[in-house]
């Protein structure tokens, strides 16, 4: 079973493997009771958004992490992958700028995921 930081890195790498763009991680400790981390990224097509979310689900399950729920797969405009301590938001490019979660949760510090993705 992964700890939350290992889960976070696993989810971000899964997104990166499917060529998700602009992967960001918000550290939600003390800001939201929903999750400790939000992973936010986007794809450029419905199929890519679905592929990113599926990869996140598969990699989590391979590591013994239960996926609590996935919402939005059919529409593929904003797919939410709830992994408990880590919640991933996979947007279609156009939807991401519309919802702008980064601004909505602007008080949340960024977790430096870039270093982890380069390893």
Comparing 19 with 1, which gets the higher pLDDT? 19
Residue 80 burial (CB count, 10 A) = 16
Rounded alpha-carbon distances, angstroms, from residue 113 to 4, 40, 47, 71, 79: 13, 11, 24, 24, 20
pLDDT at 44: 97
CATH of the domain at 98: 3.30.460.10
Q: How confident is the model at residue 103 (pLDDT cuts 50, 70, 90)?
A: confident
Say which residues have a Cβ less than 8 Å from residue 54's Cβ, sequence separation at least 6.
none
| Strand, helix or coil for residue 20 | coil
Position 1 pLDDT exceeds 80: no
Distance CA 9, CA 5 (A): 6
pLDDT at 69: 96
Number of domains in the chain: 1
pLDDT at 115: 85
Position 84 pLDDT exceeds 90: yes
pLDDT in tens, 3-15: 889 999 999 999 9
pTM comes to: 0.94
Average pLDDT over residues 28-53: 95
Q: How confident is the model at residue 45 (pLDDT cuts 50, 70, 90)?
A: very high
**Residue 97 structural domain:** 4-117
């Amino acid at each position: 079973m992964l700890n939350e930081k290992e889960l976070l890195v696993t989810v971000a790498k899964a997104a990166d493997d499917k060529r998700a763009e602009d992967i960001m991680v918000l550290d939600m400790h003390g800001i939201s009771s929903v999750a400790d981390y939000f992973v936010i990224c986007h794809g450029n097509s419905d199929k890519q958004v679905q592929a990113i979310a599926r990869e996140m689900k598969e990699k989590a399950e391979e590591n013994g992490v239960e996926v609590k729920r996935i919402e939005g797969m059919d529409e593929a405009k904003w797919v939410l992958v709830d992994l408990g301590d880590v919640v991933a938001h996979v947007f279609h490019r156009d939807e991401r700028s519309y919802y702008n979660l980064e601004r909505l949760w602007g008080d949340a510090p960024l977790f430096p995921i870039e270093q982890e993705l380069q390893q």
